Amino acid sequence: MKKTSTRLADGRELIYYDLRDDAVRDAADRRPLERTVTTSEIRRDPLLGDSVAVASHRQGRTYHPPADECPLCPTRGDRLSEIPDTSYDVVVFENRFPSLAGDSGRCEVVCFTSDHDASFADLTAEQARLVLDAWTDRTAELSHLPSVEQVFCFENRGAEIGVTLGHPHGQIYAYPFTTPRTARMLRSLAAHREATGGQNLFDAVLERELAGERVVLESEHWAAFVPYAAHWPYEVHLYPKRRVPDLLALDEAARSEFPQVYLELLGRFDRIFGEGEPPTPYIAAWHQAPFGAPAEPGGATRDDFALHLELFTIRRTSGKLKFLAGSESGMNVFINDVPPERAAERLREVASS
């Protein structure tokens, strides 16, 4: 992998990740952009104890442009985009309309490929490995920022999810706090350790799932399963079998095997609802340990946490979506229409389709 860092016309950082070591990335951003001004603010909810990012400048962000005006495609002739070069393998750049900025963190865009009509599932194993290396590198770099406590790499895919740019891409949020979801996991970890005399909850969950009926696929270094209490109609958790706190700690064996496993998993997601159906909308979310110290004495540490990816879709059956209505949105109590055992069975059925 070759990494080349440059600056866009408004001062934002852009990084090329190339498969070839001889790639030259010296194209200049020819757009007449003024320096980006953001208004991100973090406000804490005194009742729930969580944080909300208020970012009014995002109202003006790019919204469903036609394909020939996609800002994530390479620059071609007079059609100028966020990527100054005429081609690329993987690109990461600072979001022009970030939810988090400055002392409130940082938001980046990750373009998986220059092919506008592709998806992550269409990548080769070599390309998927390059994306993994880019995620890992950005996690390392962002962890050094004094305002950053947790790094979240994720992909929103599909208009149903709310994606406003059709080009295959993901995002990275660098939060200045530990996210509420992670904080809840850390509390559960600490409680389980105390109740069992030192056992790790993630290890116990993985062991139980591997011995059960909800395994979707398993390789030497990775395991994917539908969790016992899945929130979403089709939800899969992907774990490295050796517990590590974040992407940085993955060994080479797990890194090498990841592309085949993940591409197979994404391919199965696209086949859940049968032939002729539109691509399955999904969210793919990497859960990594925060970089700060435990929130309270005796709490779970980074080494207790288990890196894992949660992949889920809001489509519950052909042509029907799972909406977060009163119980989910109002009280955070999910109601799942698809039994996790049936979801796992279906994801195994489509393995050879």
Residues assigned a catalytic role: 169
* Residues contacting 66, CB < 8 A, separation 6+: none
Crossing angle between the packed helical segments 252-271 and 125-143, to the nearest 10 degrees: 120
Dist CA 70 CA 87 (whole Å): 14
CA 216 to chain centre: 20
Q: How many C-beta atoms surround the C-beta of residue 119 within 10 A?
A: 18
Tell which residue, 21, 30, 23, has the closest CA to residue 114: 23
Half-sphere exposure in the Cβ direction for 63 (13 Å, CA): 5
Question: Which of 305, 272, 333, 263 is closest to 112 using CA atoms?
Answer: 263
Nearest residue to 236 via CA among 222, 223, 250, 225? 225
